[in-house]
Structure 1
Amino acid sequence: MTTYKAPVGEYQFLASHVLAKEFDFIANDDASTETLGVLLESLGSFVNDRLLPIASSADSSGCRVTAEGVKAPEGYKDAYRAFVADGWGGMHTAKEDGGQGLPLTFGFACDEVLSSGAMAFSLYTAIRLGVYAVLKQLGSDYLKETYLSKIGSGEWNGTMCLTEPQCGTDLSLIRTAATDAGDGTYRVSGTKIFITGGDHDLTSNIVHLVLARVQGGPAGLAGLGLFIVPKRKPSADGQWVEANGVVCSRVEEKLGIHASATSELLFENAQAWIVGKPGEGLFGMFNMMKLARLGTPFQAIGVAEMATQKAVSYACERVQGRDLVGGTKGAIRITDHPNIRREIVRMRTLTASARMLAVTAALVNEQTYSEDGVQVMTANVLLPVLMSVSKAVCSEIGVEVATASMQTHGGHGYIRDTGVEALLRDVQILPIYEGTNDVQALDLVLRRLDDGRTQSVDAVLYWLREQITALPDIQESDTYTELTRNTLDQLEEAITLLKADMQSSRFAALQCAREFLWIIGHAVMSTMWLRVLGALKSPDLPVDPAAKRAEAEFYFAYLLPEVALRIARLKASAEIERALTAYPVN
């Protein structure tokens, strides 16, 4: 079993040097760079002590549906209770609700660490915070008083219930019905599927946030409401022990995250409390989805970090093959073979790139709560683009790094002993949930390219160019500055190409949406790597400057040229359309 090392230095480098200006916005006496380091170090110990020892058995056993409800894998209940008892559950919930009030970005960094230990476990700790955020923003006084402290601390858990058997992306097809009971509550009936943590025995209650159609309301999205439906409601004596018509009919058999109870829930005349007003359900749910989409990249980075650590450990120990470069006799460590060395550096660089992208998006989200009106307006324009790009790019990097780790291990990666195959199975869900990556890409073209008002992608391009202008002169990075400027020029060209395609052929434009998303991703990541090179001038860095400089050089030489390929595909959109439409799909 690999001993996990939390990436404390990586986050301190970002917070104190690369993104110091952005971190300063959220810093205070309780939320310093030192605080972040202590949190990650302590949670890393929790991962090593509590999660890694049970990771394999939890993956093997999964969750079980019993007459008493769903049972989580052995060891999960104790681990979750220790997590809550140590105060981790309330880390970034408000102090007035019993939390510690730390910035959301700190919480996302901790999600990375937990996901390195067990992505399935991290889902139980993370999804409830979206319920907390929606109630905090839109809930009545009764709902806040009843639920916030219990959900915020982790004493109770929560879920997000959108998807139905006939309804995935198109929420206008929702059939789950909410009927006004005439006593200030509603009765909810219907079926929801793919519900993360839909039922389990880690907490005494689970609070479901359900999107349902208000009976008597208008058709379509305008008729949706958002409802709180607890698994258990108060009995006559005020104890939360009475069943509330929420039944888990099954737990899905999945490729990965076996220890996460992905459930089908039947709501049978369940008592519910509306959040906000009828017709406002979609607004509240999108707020919860925003947090989930910002958090998903950190799950991918956690898997990538663990997969990389396993690969490096194995490659440094595994002796195999002759020296084909120096010609020395005898077998050598596989880390000394050029192709393996490249893969290790690629894994490290991809993981670091994803982390910078995800943290950048999270910090822009923090600025949406600024007291500076101009800063809020700017952040709200940038965030939808950065959020979609971060979710898609980081999740695909997670898959790519886990795959590279398996290849580095060879046959040992394919068997269960190393745990790499479990990482690769787990990470496959991330490009799918919280809005598939294709949906994220389509959103950029259909809603962010040119909505007639903000033109968010143009705003991101302008924002990146401003950052480059603000960088100090660094002679050694002149070449990389030019490469980054060229990438931003290519993004501008891509914007022009897609706007033209949207006028001439929406098919041509939309089938290229993922290429566009990745070009934006590289535009952000290359700008961040320029900031890294600038930060390496500082003394006493928390990272190895030689390693970090090598990662930057590798990014610009090996990874960034991918943009040229994606631009070429955009330029060939008409030819690709002809091939796609001519192909007989039946």
Structure 2
Amino acid sequence: MAPYSPAVDDIGFLLGRVFDFDALVGTLPGHEELGTELAVSVLEEGGKFCAGVLEPLNRPADEGGCRLVDGLVSTPKGMAEAYRAFVAAGWPALSGDPEYGGQGLPHVMQILFDEMIASTNLSFGLFPGLTRGAVEAISHHGSAELKAIYLPKMTSGAWTGAMALTEAAAGTDLGLLTARAEPGEDGSFRIRGTKIFISSGDHDFGGNIIHLVLARLPDTPAGVRGISLFLVPKFLVNQDGTLGAHNTMSVGSLEHKMGIHAQPTCVMNYDGATGWLIGEPGRGLNAMFTMMNAERLLVGIQGLGIAEAATQKAAAYARERMQGRSADGSRGPVAIVEHPDVRRMLLTGRSLADASRALAVWVAIQMDIAARHPDGQVRKAADGFVALLTPVVKSAFTDFGFETAVLSQQVLGGHGYIREWGMEQYVRDVRITQIYEGTNGVQAIDLVTRKVPLEDGALTARFFDLVRHDLEAASRDMETGGIADATLQALVRLERATQRLLADRAGATAGASDYLRLFALVAFGWMWARMAAAATDGALPLHRRKRASAAFFAERILPQTLGLEQAAGAGAASLMALDADMF
């Protein structure tokens, strides 16, 4: 298989020509010295680490897997060394808060680096990704003392993080969880219970592992209002900051999974483990969702990363594999990239991956504006857009990532089904992204029941106005009119579907998944219109590829919105017609 190549040219195109990153950072205090050139150079170095260190480890680590030895997790050969090299190079601190030793670089750069990590070693990426999410939760809700003890080490990557939510009988419905927290005399708590599916729950990298655990205090009400969040470290921390005794928590077993074999997914037992409250009692979900929302965006980027890697390798294979005759029958054998159906599969993957990256950059820009812009109203508006787009990014990017991996596997034919070619691992690994951090069905329900109705639909309307403004401008240009006009028509369908949803909120969940995909495709069309406009005067192969991909997306992908509008508005009758025992 061809080696992974970081999409540095595409990143430079997006930052420099599509989103005017130089002008953006000039409006954000603390980022004034940044610019496209510096961002691309940093990410180019990150790409070298991913391609040179993480990708060569991907297949052997998958084959070796994690093991539980005398109650301790042993990660695959080379994994601990790679992580220590990652920390030594300063990569965990890329976007971290400078107050705790972070580099303070924009979310845009972090998200693009996360894509590279996911493209080369999705299992590895969960270690720093979960740690950043835990840092977010502690930063927003932890006490000053907890921040001082834990955040510097976690920001540097010396200590890692994990989130412990799920129990055997409490998955999506966390109100059913039974883990308990008993107050101690010193202000700490004793945590008791068992959690399952705990990614990065234990490892052999060294340092501490900081678990954020949901549990119930005594005499609290049933349901989610009785849940609190606790910081529970693997090792207790001494007064001088050194690691002390092992906390009373253990790995009961490792889950045997379809994919991400190099990631230790643990059953964790907390047997009176010492923990500290994060946030207010009974407000644990509020604190945990700070971490969850960050992780949902990360998971979406994982889907993008796999889509990019799979498309690259499928295209390289298609250029080299000789099979069949040319379309006019005059030559043969020819490279399979000449066959129209192979091109359909490759262009589908490319059009989805490139649009995902562009939308990810736009969302990350909104995150940076929400965090740093001097105008409070501008910050609020940007934060609203991030909230609206979070379930779309998580669900659509991972659905499209899986679909792209399967299409890429199909391009390789029988070789795609054989382990040594690597494509089947992409299919196995990316599959979990549609499930964890809230299944994609749950994301769709969140979009239609919570996000779209925000401000009685006004937030969504503002987003649509923003999209329409760009599309109408692009539609007046001969070069971009095709993609812009097709997306404007799709936007009308999305707006009709949205009005029906807001008028019938009780029945909205029946068409939620169709609605989310419709929403995503319109957003992708918007991104393609912007990319096509930025490429109109360019002569580079990248610019030609952008224009051709935009045309393909308009003709072959956007027509899906016709059926999606109809399905989203079909109601629940056909779904609920059968009695449960007839399935």
TM-score computed with the length of structure 2 as normaliser: 0.94
Q: CA separation in 2, counterparts of 1:576 and 1:458?
A: 30
CA contact (8 A) 1:381 1:459 kept: no
CA contact (8 A) 1:361 1:386 kept: yes
Q: CA separation in 1, counterparts of 2:175 and 2:460?
A: 27
Q: What corresponds to 1:158 in structure 2?
A: 161
CA contact (8 A) 2:475 2:484 kept: no
Q: What corresponds to 2:351 in structure 1?
A: 349
Q: CA separation in 1, counterparts of 2:126 and 2:162?
A: 10
Instruction: Please list the CA deviations of residues 82-107 of structure 1 after superposition, one character each: whole Å capped at 9, or x if unmatched.
Output: 00001111111122211211112211
> By how many angstroms is 1:498 displaced?
2.4
Q: CA separation in 2, counterparts of 1:198 and 1:310?
A: 32
Q: CA separation in 2, counterparts of 1:498 and 1:96?
A: 44
Instruction: Please list the CA deviations of residues 334-378 of structure 1 after superposition, one character each: whole Å capped at 9, or x if unmatched.
Output: 111111122222211111111122222222222322331221222
> By how many angstroms is 1:381 displaced?
2.7
Instruction: Please list the CA deviations of residues 405-454 of structure 1 after superposition, one character each: whole Å capped at 9, or x if unmatched.
Output: 11000001100111000011000001111111100111122223335645
Tell me the amino acid that sits aligned with residue 339 of structure 1.
D
Q: What corresponds to 2:494 in structure 1?
A: 491
Q: What corresponds to 2:524 in structure 1?
A: 525
Tell me the amino acid that sits aligned with residue 363 of structure 1.
I
Q: What corresponds to 2:11 in structure 1?
A: 11
Q: What corresponds to 2:464 in structure 1?
A: 461
Q: What corresponds to 1:173 in structure 2?
A: 176
Q: What corresponds to 2:316 in structure 1?
A: 313
CA contact (8 A) 1:448 1:455 kept: no
Partner SS for 2:204 = coil
Structure 2 residue aligned with 1:184, among 184, 187, 191? 187
Q: 1:334 to 1:385 in 2, by over 3 A?
A: same
> By how many angstroms is 1:538 displaced?
4.7
Instruction: Please list the CA deviations of residues 431-482 of structure 1 after superposition, one character each: whole Å capped at 9, or x if unmatched.
Output: 1111111001111222233356454433322332233356594222223322
CA contact (8 A) 1:209 1:227 kept: yes
Q: 1:23 to 1:412 in 2, by over 3 A?
A: farther
Q: CA separation in 2, counterparts of 1:537 and 1:330?
A: 35
Q: CA separation in 2, counterparts of 1:297 and 1:576?
A: 31
Range moving further from structure 2, 452-461 or 194-203? 452-461
CA contact (8 A) 1:252 1:263 kept: yes
CA contact (8 A) 1:188 1:268 kept: yes
> By how many angstroms is 1:221 displaced?
2.1
Q: CA separation in 2, counterparts of 1:251 and 1:500?
A: 47
Q: Work out the number of aligned pairs and report it.
A: 579
Tell me the amino acid that sits aligned with residue 270 of structure 1.
A
Structure 2 residue aligned with 1:100, among 87, 99, 103? 103
Q: CA separation in 1, counterparts of 2:186 and 2:414?
A: 63
Q: 1:414 to 1:379 in 2, by over 3 A?
A: same
> By how many angstroms is 1:570 displaced?
3.0
Partner SS for 1:65 = strand
CA contact (8 A) 2:482 2:551 kept: no
Q: CA separation in 2, counterparts of 1:357 and 1:564?
A: 22
Partner SS for 1:285 = helix
CA contact (8 A) 1:15 1:33 kept: yes
Q: 1:546 to 1:146 in 2, by over 3 A?
A: same
Q: What corresponds to 1:564 in structure 2?
A: 562
Q: CA separation in 1, counterparts of 2:331 and 2:580?
A: 54
TM-score computed with the length of structure 1 as normaliser: 0.94
Q: CA separation in 1, counterparts of 2:329 and 2:97?
A: 62
CA contact (8 A) 1:294 1:362 kept: no
Partner SS for 2:324 = strand
Structure 2 residue aligned with 1:250, among 249, 253, 256? 253
CA contact (8 A) 1:497 1:570 kept: no
CA contact (8 A) 1:176 1:212 kept: yes
CA contact (8 A) 2:480 2:529 kept: yes
CA-based RMSD of the aligned residues comes to 2.1
Partner SS for 1:249 = strand
Q: What corresponds to 1:34 in structure 2?
A: 37
Tell me the amino acid that sits aligned with residue 211 of structure 1.
L
Structure 1 residue aligned with 2:546, among 535, 545, 548? 548
CA contact (8 A) 2:137 2:291 kept: yes
Q: 1:116 to 1:480 in 2, by over 3 A?
A: closer
Tell me the amino acid that sits aligned with residue 412 of structure 1.
H
Q: 1:546 to 1:452 in 2, by over 3 A?
A: closer
> By how many angstroms is 1:175 displaced?
1.2
Matches within 5 A, 1:412-491: 412-450=415-453, 453=456, 455-469=458-472, 473-491=476-494
Q: CA separation in 1, counterparts of 2:461 and 2:549?
A: 29
Q: CA separation in 2, counterparts of 1:222 and 1:299?
A: 32
Q: CA separation in 2, counterparts of 1:56 and 1:377?
A: 44
CA contact (8 A) 2:154 2:160 kept: yes
Range moving further from structure 2, 566-575 or 522-531? 566-575
Q: 1:502 to 1:146 in 2, by over 3 A?
A: closer
Partner SS for 1:264 = strand
CA contact (8 A) 1:198 1:265 kept: yes
CA contact (8 A) 2:388 2:451 kept: yes
> By how many angstroms is 1:574 displaced?
5.9
Q: What corresponds to 1:368 in structure 2?
A: 370
Tell me the amino acid that sits aligned with residue 108 of structure 2.
T
Q: What corresponds to 1:334 in structure 2?
A: 336
Q: CA separation in 2, counterparts of 1:85 and 1:385?
A: 36
Q: 1:377 to 1:437 in 2, by over 3 A?
A: same
- Aligned-pair identity in percent equals 37
CA contact (8 A) 2:162 2:211 kept: yes
CA contact (8 A) 1:90 1:153 kept: yes
Q: What corresponds to 2:512 in structure 1?
A: 513
Q: 1:574 to 1:437 in 2, by over 3 A?
A: closer
1:384 correspondence with 2:387: yes
Q: CA separation in 1, counterparts of 2:131 and 2:395?
A: 22
Q: What corresponds to 1:585 in structure 2?
A: 582
Instruction: Please list the CA deviations of residues 385-411 of structure 1 after superposition, one character each: whole Å capped at 9, or x if unmatched.
Output: 211111111001110110011100000
> By how many angstroms is 1:540 displaced?
7.4
CA contact (8 A) 2:251 2:267 kept: yes
Q: CA separation in 1, counterparts of 2:159 and 2:252?
A: 21
- Gaps spanning 5+ residues in structure 1: where? none
Q: CA separation in 2, counterparts of 1:145 and 1:501?
A: 48
Structure 1 residue aligned with 2:202, among 199, 206, 216? 199
Range moving further from structure 2, 374-383 or 82-91? 374-383
> By how many angstroms is 1:313 displaced?
1.1
> By how many angstroms is 1:528 displaced?
1.3
> By how many angstroms is 1:53 displaced?
2.1
Q: What corresponds to 2:571 in structure 1?
A: 573
Matches within 5 A, 1:54-65: 54-65=57-68
Q: CA separation in 2, counterparts of 1:472 and 1:465?
A: 10
CA contact (8 A) 2:483 2:550 kept: no
Matches within 5 A, 1:288-307: 288-307=291-310
Instruction: Please list the CA deviations of residues 37-67 of structure 1 after superposition, one character each: whole Å capped at 9, or x if unmatched.
Output: 2222212222232122222211011101111
Partner SS for 1:573 = coil
